């Protein structure tokens, strides 16, 4: 292609379409693949964001042919696609869907996979480029990676790229994540490894950077001089679904605190990157993750909980220990809250309260900056009884947007100041709906843009925060809370002891 001298390569307004390529999914019959990946592939195709020469491959044990696999993919995509269904789009995709039958330790199956990829180069012009998506438990990584390596499929050359996508959890602690990182890095080169934290694919999470670094309004007050505390909440009304086995071994801290919440913290607290590039953004996030401190007394600054039976939206909800597949004496936490510090000039002394839980009253993820009270109020105390701290809330989901909470005079003949809200709602300001996180991230993998993917050093720095917590909690029992409540009482007491309160979003 002749380069256009007038087009700035940093101009990212035009939709980017990846080069011809293949996507190979391991774990294609799993939950993630059916609910997120296959619909995302369809949505990208429907938006014209997949290259014309594209192939989708799956390897699994089932005794299937290409047609059976195409049928599974079609019904999964149809069920969960974000964009309207267009049969002709699917038909075009279906022609380049391939299935290879076999287990992960089956050499023949991987030889066949390599041969199929090579064949697609000729028949579908995929140019030798391929991304391997490991949508499988980490315990299976070694065998799959070795097979991919043995068959020569992992090598990028000047003429073709080969990438690997790794799903969280990246290990279960610092040691296992290091081992996992070493393993992945021994097969693929570091630039070809994409670690998915799907929260980074959410539009509102990316907006955090726009909000901070594209405006002059917020940055001057985004520091210890003005911010009293930061609250990051990831509340879910759902329980553990069909994932008892995974959840029993994982718990809330490893499941979401280690990754989603710490990434949100990093984006909230980081300094402005030198430029909006993968390298620079990851560098700034890493600095924050390394600067995180745990409180000295974990007994009063960290809480883990487990839901008991209760009521949610008028329906009876089972307790965690009564869920199918859960040990009736389980001590796995379904709620975790902790106070962290960020030891930098900007943040030293500002508590970052993080909480995540299942079976809470509603599904909401938000980042709230709670500002200091005005040093002096020239009103009578009674005039400002209902005035809280100013707050800036980035609503990640649902009702994506930003809210500013501040005091305002209540209309009338007396002076009374009360909190009011100013809202920006994505749904009202933009006509275009936000892409799903997986849609965005899958596209970025195929484009080779690693901006929204944590580097392994970030993953390790995050485990370094979680490990001491897990050690402290080992052998203890989580505090009970009723399904439909905002977590255990101890979590409220933790903030109350410091003169603060959790927000009730």
Please give the residues from 7 up to 26 whose contact with ligand BG6 meets the rule CB under 6 A.
none
Please give the residues from 102 up to 161 whose contact with ligand BG6 meets the rule CB under 6 A.
none
Calpha distance 180→141 (Å, rounded): 8
Calpha distance 379→184 (Å, rounded): 62
Both tokens of 59, joined, read 């390897």
In this structure, are residues 333 and 257 in contact, taking their beta carbons and an 8 Å threshold? no
Residue with tokens 């309004």: 217
Which residue number places its CB atom closest to ligand BG6?
Answer: 255
**Shortest distance in whole angstroms from residue 236 CB to ligand BG6:** 6
Number of helices and strands in the chain (H, E): 16, 18
**Does 260 qualify as catalytic in the annotation?**
yes
Please give the residues from 190 up to 209 whose contact with ligand BG6 meets the rule CB under 6 A.
198
Classify each residue of 394-409 as buried b or exposed e, where b means 16 or more C-beta atoms within 10 Å of its C-beta.
bbbbeebbbbebbbee
- Among 43, 192, 228, 255, contact with ligand BG6 (rule: CB under 6 A): 255
Q: Which one, 192 or 203, has the nearer CB to ligand BG6?
A: 203
236 in contact with ligand BG6 (CB under 6 A): yes
Calpha distance 108→233 (Å, rounded): 47
Of 239, 242, 268, 263, the C-alpha closest to 252 is: 239
Q: Which one, 256 or 350, has the nearer CB to ligand BG6?
A: 256
User: In terms of DSSP bridges, do strands 352-357 and 335-342 run parallel, antiparallel, or are they unpaired?
Assistant: antiparallel
**Shortest distance in whole angstroms from residue 198 CB to ligand BG6:** 6
**Shortest distance in whole angstroms from residue 361 CB to ligand BG6:** 16
Please give the residues from 370 up to 429 whose contact with ligand BG6 meets the rule CB under 6 A.
none
**Shortest distance in whole angstroms from residue 255 CB to ligand BG6:** 5
460 in contact with ligand BG6 (CB under 6 A): no
* DSSP at 14: S
SS3 state of residue 324: coil
Q: Which one, 121 or 167, has the nearer CB to ligand BG6?
A: 167
SS3 state of residue 370: strand
**Shortest distance in whole angstroms from residue 396 CB to ligand BG6:** 8
Q: Which one, 198 or 339, has the nearer CB to ligand BG6?
A: 198
Q: Which of 198, 225, 226, 260 is catalytic?
A: 260
Q: Which one, 256 or 281, has the nearer CB to ligand BG6?
A: 256
- Among 50, 136, 256, 261, contact with ligand BG6 (rule: CB under 6 A): 256
DSSP H or E stretch at residue 418? strand 417-425
**Shortest distance in whole angstroms from residue 246 CB to ligand BG6:** 8
Q: Which one, 236 or 323, has the nearer CB to ligand BG6?
A: 236
In this structure, are residues 205 and 267 in contact, taking their beta carbons and an 8 Å threshold? yes
420 phi, psi to nearest 5 deg = -130, 170
Q: Report the 10 Å Cβ neighbour count for 255.
A: 23
Of 469, 460, 468, the C-alpha closest to 171 is: 460
β-sheet bridge partners, residue 98 = 57
Q: What dihedral do alpha carbons 495, 499, 502, 505 form, nearest 10°?
A: 180
**Shortest distance in whole angstroms from residue 169 CB to ligand BG6:** 8
Of 214, 252, 259, the C-alpha closest to 236 is: 252
Q: Which one, 416 or 444, has the nearer CB to ligand BG6?
A: 444
Q: How many residues sit close enough to ligand BG6 to count as binding (CB under 6 A)?
A: 4
458 in contact with ligand BG6 (CB under 6 A): no
Q: Which one, 253 or 270, has the nearer CB to ligand BG6?
A: 253
35 phi, psi to nearest 5 deg = -85, -30
**Shortest distance in whole angstroms from residue 256 CB to ligand BG6:** 5
Q: Report the 10 Å Cβ neighbour count for 464.
A: 16
In this structure, are residues 439 and 86 in contact, taking their beta carbons and an 8 Å threshold? no
Active site residues: 260
Residues contributing to the site for ligand BG6 (CB under 6 A): 198, 236, 255-256
């Amino acid at each position: 292609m002749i380069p256009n001298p007038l087009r700035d390569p940093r101009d990212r307004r035009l939709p980017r379409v990846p080069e011809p390529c293949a996507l190979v999914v391991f774990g294609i019959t799993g939950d993630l693949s059916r609910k997120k990946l296959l619909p995302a592939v369809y949505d990208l195709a429907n938006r014209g964001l997949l290259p014309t020469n594209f192939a989708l491959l799956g390897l699994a044990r089932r005794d299937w042919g290409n047609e059976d696999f195409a049928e599974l993919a079609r019904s999964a995509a149809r069920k969960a696609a974000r964009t309207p269904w267009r049969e002709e789009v699917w038909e075009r995709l279906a022609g380049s869907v391939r299935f290879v039958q076999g287990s992960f330790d089956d050499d023949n199956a991987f030889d066949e996979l390599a041969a199929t990829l090579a064949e697609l180069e000729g028949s579908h012009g995929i140019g030798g480029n391929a991304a391997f998506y490991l949508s499988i438990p980490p315990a299976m990584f070694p065998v799959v990676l070795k097979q991919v390596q043995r068959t020569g499929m992992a090598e990028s050359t000047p003429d073709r790229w080969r990438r690997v996508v790794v799903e969280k959890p990246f290990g279960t602690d610092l040691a296992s994540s290091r081992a996992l990182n070493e393993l992945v890095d021994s097969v693929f080169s570091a630039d070809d490894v994409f670690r998915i934290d799907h929260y980074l694919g959410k539009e509102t999470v990316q907006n955090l950077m726009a909000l901070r670094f594209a405006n002059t309004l917020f940055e001057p007050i985004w520091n210890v001089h003005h911010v009293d505390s930061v609250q990051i909440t990831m509340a879910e009304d759902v329980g553990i679904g069909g994932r008892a086995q995974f959840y029993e071994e994982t718990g809330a801290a490893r499941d979401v605190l280690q990754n989603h919440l710490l990434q949100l913290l990093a984006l909230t607290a980081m300094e402005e990157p030198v430029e909006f590039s993968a390298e620079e953004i990851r560098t700034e996030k890493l600095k924050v993750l390394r600067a995180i401190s745990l409180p000295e007394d974990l007994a009063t600054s960290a809480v883990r909980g487990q839901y008991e039976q209760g009521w949610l939206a008028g329906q009876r909800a089972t307790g965690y220990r009564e869920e199918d597949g859960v040990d009736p004496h389980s001590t796995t936490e379904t709620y975790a809250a902790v106070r962290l510090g960020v030891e930098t000039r900007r943040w030293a002394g500002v508590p970052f309260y993080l909480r995540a839980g299942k079976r809470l009253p509603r599904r909401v993820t938000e980042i709230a900056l709670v500002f200091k009270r005005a040093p002096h109020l020239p009103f009578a105390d009674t005039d400002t009884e209902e005035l809280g701290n100013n707050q800036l809330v980035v609503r990640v989901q649902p009702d994506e947007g930003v809210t500013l909470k501040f005091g305002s005079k209540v209309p009338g003949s007396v002076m009374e100041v009360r909190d009011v809200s100013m809202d920006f709602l994505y749904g009202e300001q933009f006509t275009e709906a936000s892409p799903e996180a997986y849609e965005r991230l899958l596209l970025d993998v195929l484009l080779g843009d690693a901006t929204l993917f944590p580097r392994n050093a970030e993953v390790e720095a995050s485990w370094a925060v979680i490990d001491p917590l897990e050690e402290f909690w080992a052998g203890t029992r989580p505090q009970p809370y009723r399904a439909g409540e905002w977590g255990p009482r101890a979590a409220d007491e933790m903030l109350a002891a410091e003169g603060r309160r959790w927000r009730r979003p």
